[in-house]
């Protein structure tokens, strides 16, 4: 196991800086607050932190509209505060990975201010400017967040391209000076000692040079109505196919791989650093050694119910497609998706399902990532007033729905169901008014989920052996102490089973059996191995330390069981 790198053995914990801990009492999370809470992560048992954007930003896209790639947003503190946070994390054995947004900047970035100043400005081509066509945009491309992907600049009479919000102009990676400037920003953080980067929306950094129109035949309104279930005549697979056609000139171009290979060379010139990609295509591993170290297994989480068939098919496809030398990477939630307990719950067994899904995530082969607050069972918060929303994507959807004639209450409900704000509410440390995130007499930037007062908080769960937090601590300790869970091969078992999912993790002489009963009924399962007994490592339910008869392994509803095969 000594041949594994730190990031292959690590459990990553994603922090959304604005929502983790407010250290200066202004209702916004910051580095002082995060530094003060690092011991929680140490006791939890994680190994590395992925930090969502902390850069200066107008915050129209929740920090992903960056106004300075080498700075710290003043609401989060100073660069010295960041350095103190990094040093404190390293002192505790925690690695720190930053978000790196390569596709775009904020329209408030000094580079864009120069670029839009005139057509002959030296930085004009650092962004993508084109003349209009027939009195409109250069082509029919759409923004991910709705509407045209082109914005007219009245002063210079040209359009600039934005894959996301109009306040997020795309960078022109075909311009050598822009590429050099971005690589300089990467070096800045590496020289400070950060341990790597998670690359945001990396597949979007190039678009076709000839600006040819997409050939999708569906309209934006039809897509919108299809997603809302108002067009039963539109098959979901056809909606997905049309969406991919609509974006085919804006995603996954071959030039992306060229930039990633150059970035990998830069990263590899620093010891023990990692590149993690937000991307769908497994091709971003390159040949397994020359592009990203880790690519999120997003297909695993793209379901509303975790079933045996779904996980089995996902693992077979994912592990089978990895190039030689590549390492898998699994997650079931992040800042862009509903919280795990909410998304995969059934309204009756939510806590049991959350424990089973977490045990599964940490037992699968590969590096696991989980999101802040999952360890105490935080849930989505449905916002009831559009004034509470901070997610530009959701407010765009609300405005589009109103423009399409939808009643305001329906538009609000649609926005509330898809906004990313619902999973970004403040971390719940205590059962007080604002959950210990900020002082009780200060309004937090997003509302605190009321369930903090009902025990969904760190203080209430910290010393309770039956709590979700205690379960997470035990699970992470088991994983860290079990070589087969870190480095072992993966071998699917009982491949026809529909109500449960079983697999082995094997490393040298150690064999671990993992079984998840994915049904609300108790189940007896027979396993027949040369090692007939199993030593219990962890279960989501009360268990004997040793099970003598694997031919009759009895599992409770939604139980996850991990045991070491013995003679």
CB neighbours of residue 323 within 10 Å: 14
**278 a catalytic residue:** yes
Choose the catalytic residue: 61, 195, 278, 391: 278
- Give CA–CA dist 428/451, Å, rounded: 9
Question: Which pTM value belongs to this model?
Answer: 0.95
Helix, strand, or coil (residue 434): coil
Torsion sign, CA atoms 457, 460, 466, 472: positive
**81 a catalytic residue:** no
- Give CA–CA dist 109/527, Å, rounded: 60
* Phi then psi dihedrals of residue 41, to 5 deg: -70, -35
Ramachandran class of 134: left when φ > 0, alpha when ψ lies in -120 to 50, beta otherwise: left
Say which residues have a Cβ less than 8 Å from residue 305's Cβ, sequence separation at least 6: 344
H/E segment holding residue 82:
helix 79-91
**DSSP letters for 404-427:** TT--HHHHHHHHHHH-GGGG-PPP
What is the chain's pLDDT, residue by residue, as a tens digit (567 residues)? 668 999 999 999 999 999 999 999 999 999 999 999 999 999 999 999 999 999 999 999 989 999 999 999 999 999 999 999 999 999 999 999 999 999 999 999 999 999 999 999 999 999 999 999 999 999 999 998 888 999 999 999 999 999 999 999 999 999 999 999 999 999 999 999 999 999 999 999 999 999 999 998 877 777 766 665 667 777 777 877 888 888 899 999 999 999 999 999 999 999 999 999 998 889 999 999 999 999 999 999 999 899 999 999 999 999 999 999 999 999 999 999 999 999 999 999 999 999 999 999 999 999 999 999 999 999 999 999 999 999 888 888 888 888 888 899 988 988 888 899 999 999 999 999 999 999 999 999 999 999 999 999 999 999 999 999 999 999 999 999 999 999 999 999 999 999 999 999 999 999 999 999 999 999 999 999 887 789 999 999 988 888 888 889 999 999 999 999 986
Choose the catalytic residue: 47, 107, 195, 200: 200
CB neighbours of residue 316 within 10 Å: 13
């Amino acid at each position: 196991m000594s041949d594994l790198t730190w990031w292959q053995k690590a459990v990553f914990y994603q922090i959304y800086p604005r929502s983790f801990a407010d250290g200066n009492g202004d209702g916004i999370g910051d580095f002082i607050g995060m530094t003060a809470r690092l011991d929680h992560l140490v006791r939890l048992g994680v190994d590395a932190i992925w930090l969502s954007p902390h850069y200066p930003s107008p915050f129209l896209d929740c920090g992903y509209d960056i106004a300075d790639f080498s700075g710290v947003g003043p609401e989060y503190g100073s660069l010295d505060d960041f350095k103190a946070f990094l040093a404190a994390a390293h002192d505790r054995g925690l690695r720190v990975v930053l978000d790196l947004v390569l596709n775009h900047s904020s329209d408030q970035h000094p580079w864009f201010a120069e670029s839009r100043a005139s057509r002959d400005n030296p930085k004009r081509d650092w962004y993508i400017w084109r003349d209009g066509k027939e009195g409109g945009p250069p082509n029919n491309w759409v923004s991910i967040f709705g509407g045209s992907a082109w914005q007219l600049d009245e002063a210079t009479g040209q359009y600039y391209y934005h894959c996301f919000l109009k306040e997020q102009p795309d960078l022109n990676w075909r311009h050598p000076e822009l590429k050099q400037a971005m690589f300089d920003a990467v070096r800045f953080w590496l020289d400070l000692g950060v341990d790597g980067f998670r690359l945001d929306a990396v597949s979007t950094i190039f678009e076709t040079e000839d600006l040819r129109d997409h050939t999708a035949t569906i309209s934006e309104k039809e897509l919108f109505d299809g997603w809302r279930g108002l067009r039963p005549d539109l098959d979901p697979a056809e909606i997905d196919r049309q969406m991919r056609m609509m974006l085919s000139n804006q995603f996954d171009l071959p030039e992306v791989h060229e930039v990633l290979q150059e970035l990998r060379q830069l990263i590899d010139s620093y010891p023990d650093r990692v590149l993690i990609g937000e991307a769908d295509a497994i091709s971003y591993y390159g040949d397994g050694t020359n592009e990203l170290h880790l690519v999120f297994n997003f297909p695993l989480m793209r379901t509303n119910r975790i079933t045996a068939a779904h996980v089995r098919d996902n693992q077979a496809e994912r592990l089978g497609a990895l190039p030689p030398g590549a390492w898998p990477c699994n997650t079931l939630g992040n800042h862009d998706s509903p919280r795990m307990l909410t998304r995969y719950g059934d309204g009756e067994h939510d806590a049991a399902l959350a424990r089973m899904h977490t045990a599964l995530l940490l037992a699968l082969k590969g590096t696991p990532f989980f999101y802040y607050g999952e360890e105490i069972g935080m849930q989505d918060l449905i916002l009831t007033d559009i004034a509470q929303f901070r997610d530009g994507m959701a407010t765009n959807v609300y405005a589009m729905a109103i423009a399409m004639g939808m009643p305001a209450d329906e538009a609000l409900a649609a926005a509330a169901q898809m906004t990313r704000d619902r999973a970004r509410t403040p971390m719940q440390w205590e059962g007080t008014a604002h959950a210990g995130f900020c002082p009780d007499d200060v309004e937090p930037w997003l509302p605190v989920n009321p369930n903090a007062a009902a025990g969904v908080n760190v203080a209430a769960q910290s010393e309770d052996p039956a709590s979700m937090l205690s379960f997470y601590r035990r699970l992470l300790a088991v994983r860290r102490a079990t070589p087969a869970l870190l480095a072992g091969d993966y071998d699917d078992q009982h491949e026809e089973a529909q109500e449960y999912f079983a697999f082995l993790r094997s490393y040298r002489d150690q064999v671990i059996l993992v079984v998840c009963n994915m049904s609300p009924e108790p189940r007896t399962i027979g396993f027949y191995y040369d090692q007939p007994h199993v030593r219990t490592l962890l279960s989501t339910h009360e268990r004997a330390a040793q099970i003598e008869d694997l031919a009759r392994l009895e599992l409770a509803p939604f139980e996850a069981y991990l045991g070491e095969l013995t003679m």
